[in-house]
Amino acid sequence: MNENINIKDAAEAVKGIVEAVPVYQDLAQPAVQEIGKGLHTLSKVIHIALAPVSAAVWGYEKISNYVQTSLEKKLENVPPENIIPPDISVAGPALEALRFVGDKEELREMFSTLLSTSMNSELSKLAHPSFVEIIKQLSSDEAKILKSIDHDLSFPILKVQIFEKNTRHYSEPLLNFSLLPFESNCEHFELGPSYINNLNRLGLIFTSYTQRKIGENVYEPLESHVQVKYWETVANASDKSFEIQRGIIQRTDFGANFYNACIK
């Protein structure tokens, strides 16, 4: 196979897909220009608040420059004969989605890695079209957590239960509490339980309270955490029983495929 022709074909394919992505140049115009058009005060405030959003929407030039630079780096060690045109069902939606997450480093990196996977003949089978939609449903913090779950071992997790002493009715004010959001340097680590819920919903991880992480004192950092101790204080103050249920987080097989295609 002619290596130069193969690389040229792949480059032209990506270029064609990028050019096919709808770009609305007017979105890049600052919304503050509307201030002088006789709008009401509230309307002015709303337009000013939306200005950073419109500026963050990427146009063709930014997408093209980023994709070219990023793919050159990710594919630099791939033999030229292994570089192929990407599957349009992956590349098209991925490039379209880049318009809206260009300012989110973790997410744009996932899209770029997925594109590079789809252009490597030895890995392209891993680049499933559904992965684009999954990335679109992730926050930057959740992407950081997924990057930390880089193996198939389990991670400790717990939930807090507070019981009425007489009826044994209970509530679970803290569910799926893990140190992963803290260890992953999440911006909003206090939302960690909801992040875990979303990753579970997407089928990338699973949580279980019938299994335990093996090891000495592996749950001690969680059980002594300030968030857990807070609910213990609340329970004691209201004369209720405080209990902790231990469990695990583990990556699913589907999550492992996602990791290998979009993160690794």
Share of the chain above pLDDT 70, in %: 79
Q: Could you tell me if residue 77 is inside a domain?
A: yes
Handedness of CA 99, 105, 111, 117 (dihedral sign): positive
pLDDT in tens, 10-33: 666 666 666 655 544 444 444 445
pTM of the model: 0.79
CA separation, residue 10 to residues 59, 62, 179, 218 (Å): 22, 20, 42, 48
Q: Could you tell me if residue 264 is inside a domain?
A: no
Q: Could you tell me if residue 52 is inside a domain?
A: no
pLDDT score recorded for residue 64: 85
DSSP 190-253: GGHHHHHHHHHHTTSEEEESSS---STTTTHHHHTSHHHHHHHHHHHHTT-EEEEEEEEEEE-H
Burial 27-57 (b: 16+ CB within 10 A, else e): eeeebeebeeeeeeeeebeebeeeeeebeeb
Q: Read off the tokens for 231.
A: 């609910």
Same domain membership, residue 226 and residue 101? no
Question: How many folded domains does the chain comprise?
Answer: 2
Same domain membership, residue 153 and residue 100? no
Q: Read off the tokens for 165.
A: 């002493």
- Please give the residue range of the domain that contains residue 128: 3-23+59-136
Cα angle 192-198-199, degrees, rounded to a multiple of 5: 90
pLDDT in tens, 62-115: 888 888 999 999 999 999 999 999 999 999 999 999 988 888 999 999 999 999
The alpha carbon of residue 251 and the mean position of all alpha carbons in its chain are separated, in whole angstroms, by: 14
pLDDT score recorded for residue 44: 65
Same domain membership, residue 175 and residue 102? no
